[in-house]
Amino acid sequence: MQAEQLESIAAMVREAREIVVFSGAGLSADSGIPTFRDGATGLWNKVDPDEVASIEGFMRNPGRVWNWLLQLKKLVDEKAPNAGHEALARLEKTCRGKQLAVITQNIDGYHTRAGNTQVLEVHGTIHRVRCHHHCGFAAAWQEDALEPFSCPGCGAPVRPDLVLFGEMLDEAVFGAAEMRSLTADLFFCVGTSFTVQPAALLPVWAKRAGATVVEVNPHPTPLSKVADFSIRGGASQFFGALSTRLEATQA
Catalytic residue (choose from 123, 127, 134, 219): 123
In the residue annotation, 123 being an active-site residue is answered as: yes
Interface residues with ligand OAD (CB under 6 A)? 24-26, 29-30, 35-38, 42, 53, 105, 123, 163, 190-193, 195-196, 216-219, 221, 234-235
Task: Establish how many alpha carbons lie within 13 A of residue 92's alpha carbon, considering only the half-sphere containing its beta carbon.
Answer: 18
Q: Measuring CA to CA, which residue among 98, 95, 117 is closest to residue 250?
A: 95
Number of H helices, E strands in the chain: 9, 9
- Quick one: 67 or 99, whose CB is closer to ligand OAD? 67
Q: In angstroms, rounded to a whole number, what is the distance separating the alpha carbons of residues 187 and 203?
A: 7
- Nearest distance in Å: CB 250, ligand OAD: 25
Nearer to ligand OAD, 35 or 94 (CB): 35
Q: How many residues does the chain have?
A: 251
* Interatomic CA distance for residues 114 and 188, integer angstroms: 18
Kindly report the CA angle at 100 between 85 and 2, in degrees rounded to 5?
Answer: 60
Q: What's the min distance (Å) between Cβ of 233 and ligand OAD?
A: 7
**Closer residue to ligand OAD (CB): 24 or 148:** 24
Return the number of the residue (17 or 227) whose C-beta is nearest ligand OAD. 227
CB of 189 vs ligand OAD, minimal distance in Å: 10
Question: Closest distance between ligand OAD and the C-beta of residue 84, in Å?
Answer: 7
Q: Among residues 62, 27, 225, which one has the least CA distance to residue 158?
A: 62
Rounded to whole angstroms, how far apart are CA atoms 83 and 235? 9
Residues carrying an active site annotation: 123
